[in-house]
Structure 1
Amino acid sequence: MKKLIASLMLLGLFLGAVLLAVPHPRELYSLITADEPSALPVPVQGVSLGAIADTWGSPRGSDREHKGVDIFAKRGTPVLAPVRGLVLDIGQNRLGGNIVRLLGPGLQVHYFAHLDRFGPVKEYEFVQRGDVIGYVGNTGNAKDTPPHLHYGIYAYRQGAINPYPLLMAGGGKPVSLGMG
């Protein structure tokens, strides 16, 4: 019970801070109260479902498991927002290298890692499905692998969830380039 209360308080603080930073609070409210997507398009331009392997849960070193899918593509291939959302973070970390985190419908956070470079997005900016958020690369702990996008989804209640079934439910439809 204490953990639940602490989680709710943390969520409240987070949402309060985001509401202060976001210029369009109604759009944020609409986003976080929307249903989680039941299907997603492939977020790498020109990549079909056949090129994506379900690597969820595969060992990564001796102490962790893969919490996403890797989508291999040519370096510099556009990575497109699979949902409308709010850019929470643009930066670097040790494992992911160049990363973007996007808050999507239903409080899901979409995580894009190993980017070669970032797209024309800014923190706390809303993006539409299809907007370019970055470009495929191999930064972070992927420096010795072929270029790819690590795509992960983190749900508010469940934690990390496997994106593969959502991509399969999307039927391999590509994200079309956005206009904004």
Structure 2
Amino acid sequence: MPTRFKHSCSAILTLSLLTACASSPPKNATARIDSQSKFYQQLASTPLPSHLPIPVKGISADQLTDTWGNARSHGRSHEGIDILSKRGTPVYSTTDGIVSRISSYGAGGNAITVVGYALSQHYYAHLEGFGKYRIGDTVKVGDTLGYVGSTGNATTTHLHYGIYLSPNRTAVNPYPYLR
């Protein structure tokens, strides 16, 4: 295959991927999940626990810092907490749930969202890599979702962890849940 043709195909493929990834993701990620499934109904009817396990291997509650609400670029507020750890450290699910989204673009970089109890959305961002799960898969507390990284707009290796409550995807501070 001529080199010029290979470069043209590569450029077209790259442009196609960028175009496909450039569209805004849906705000309600649960739309991809079968809302009639028994497990989904169980999640919907079970309240969000007041205590959740820390999602990063080897991190204890006294190592957490409440970064909720801190100022971010473009006038934004921080809708989660940052948990510092070494690159490649396993990231665990804090809830039983269903993987509703896996993405590799935007400010969060490599990120995965799990719909959990009370249809809360648990967002894990800046991952170095992903675990074995795909959209629609069920996960249990403690399952490895990915690995700590610095993708997206991260300036150091850490996990950004956020919780959003249904029905309006309202962000809540995860720090009290992890204490």
TM-score interval, smaller chain: 0.7 to 0.9
* Unaligned 5+ runs, structure 1: 1-9, 169-180
Letter in 2 for 1:161: V
Note if 1:71 corresponds to 2:83: yes
Letter in 1 for 2:148: V
Alignment correspondent of 1:80: 92
Q: What is the aligned-residue identity percentage? A: 43
Alignment correspondent of 1:121: 133
Letter in 1 for 2:164: Y
Structure 1 segments (4+ residues) deviating >3 Å: none
SS at match of 1:146: coil
Alignment correspondent of 2:160: 150
Deviations for 1:72-108, whole angstroms, at most 9, x for unmatched residues?
A: 1110000000110000011123110000000000010
Q: What RMSD over aligned residues (CA atoms) do the two structures have, in Å?
A: 1.9
Partners of 1:52 and 1:139 in 2: how far apart? 21
Letter in 1 for 2:126: H
Partners of 1:62 and 1:76 in 2: how far apart? 30
Alignment correspondent of 1:55: 67
Pick from 91, 100, 104: which aligns with 2:103?
91
Letter in 2 for 1:91: S
Partners of 2:177 and 2:46 in 1: how far apart? 17
Q: Which moved more, 1:103-112 or 1:28-37?
A: 28-37
* Unaligned 5+ runs, structure 2: 1-26
SS at match of 2:49: coil
Alignment correspondent of 2:177: 166
Partners of 1:74 and 1:109 in 2: how far apart? 25
Alignment correspondent of 2:34: 19
Aligned residue pairs total 151
Partners of 2:150 and 2:165 in 1: how far apart? 25
Partners of 1:55 and 1:112 in 2: how far apart? 15
Structure with the greater relative contact order (CA < 8 A, sep ≥ 6): 1 or 2? 1
* C-alpha deviation, 1:29, in angstroms: 0.9
Partners of 2:67 and 2:150 in 1: how far apart? 17
Partners of 1:28 and 1:157 in 2: how far apart? 15
* C-alpha deviation, 1:157, in angstroms: 4.6
SS at match of 1:35: coil
SS at match of 1:36: coil
TM-score by length of 2: 0.79
Pick from 107, 110, 122: which aligns with 1:110?
122
Letter in 2 for 1:37: P
Deviations for 1:100-159, whole angstroms, at most 9, x for unmatched residues?
A: 0000000100000000000111110000111000100000000xx221000000001560
TM-score by length of 1: 0.79
SS at match of 1:59: coil
Alignment correspondent of 1:138: 150
Partners of 1:53 and 1:18 in 2: how far apart? 33
SS at match of 1:29: helix
